[in-house]
Amino acid sequence: RREAAELWTALEEEQFELHYQPIVDLDGEHTVGVEALVRWNHPTRGLLGPVAFLDTAETLGMLPRLGAWILREACAQAVGWQAQQPGLELNVNLSASQLADPHLVERVREVLDDTGIDPALLVLELTETVALTDLIGSAEILGALKKLGVRIALDDFGTGYSSLSHLGALPVDVVKIDRSFVQAMDDSDGATVAEAVLQIARTFGLAPVAEGVEDQAQAARLRDLDCAQAQGFLFARPMPAADLGDLLVRQN
| Dihedral of alpha carbons 110, 35, 211, 160, sign | negative
Task: State which amino acid sits at residue 140.
Answer: E
Shortest Å, Cβ 156 to Mn ion: 7
**24, 68, 70, 90: which one contacts ligand G (CB under 6 A)?**
70
Single residue of 201, 209, 211, 219 touching ligand G by CB under 6 A: 211
Q: What is the residue-wise DSSP string for 12-49? A: HTT-EEEEEEEEEETTT--EEEEEEEEEEEETTTEEE-
- Select from 26, 34, 38, 121 the one that contacts ligand G (CB under 6 A): 38
Binding footprint of Na ion on the chain (CB under 5 A): 155-156
Cα Rg for the chain, rounded, in angstroms? 18
User: Is the sign of the CA dihedral 127, 128, 133, 139 positive or negative?
Assistant: positive
| Sequence-separated (6 or more) residues with CB below 8 Å from residue 12 | none
Q: Of 31, 77, 82, 95, which one interacts with ligand G (CB under 6 A)?
A: 95
Site string for Mn ion, 67-96 (x = CB under 5 A): --------------------------x---
Total residues at interface with ligand G (CB under 6 A): 24
Cα separation, 64 vs 100, whole angstroms:
9
- Cβ distance to Mn ion smaller for residue 31 or 93: 93
125 touches Mn ion (CB under 5 A): yes
Containing 155, the helix (H) or strand (E) segment is strand 151-157
Cα 67 from chain centre: 13
**Residues across the chain:** 252
Least spacing, CB of residue 211 vs ligand G, in Å: 5
* Separation between Cα atoms, residue 145 and residue 47, nearest integer Å: 32
Q: Within 106-165, which residues bind ligand G (CB under 6 A)?
A: 155-156
238 counts as binding ligand G under rule CB under 6 A? yes
Tell me which of Mn ion, ligand G, Na ion, none is bound by residue 233, counting a contact when its beta carbon lies within the kind-specific cut-off of 5 to 8 angstroms: ligand G
Q: With CB cut-offs between 5 and 8 Å by kind, which of Na ion, Mn ion, ligand G, none does residue 236 bind?
A: none
Positions touching ligand G (CB under 6 A) are: 21, 36-38, 49-51, 54, 70, 93-95, 155-156, 176, 179, 211-214, 231-233, 238
Positions touching Mn ion (CB under 5 A) are: 93, 125, 155
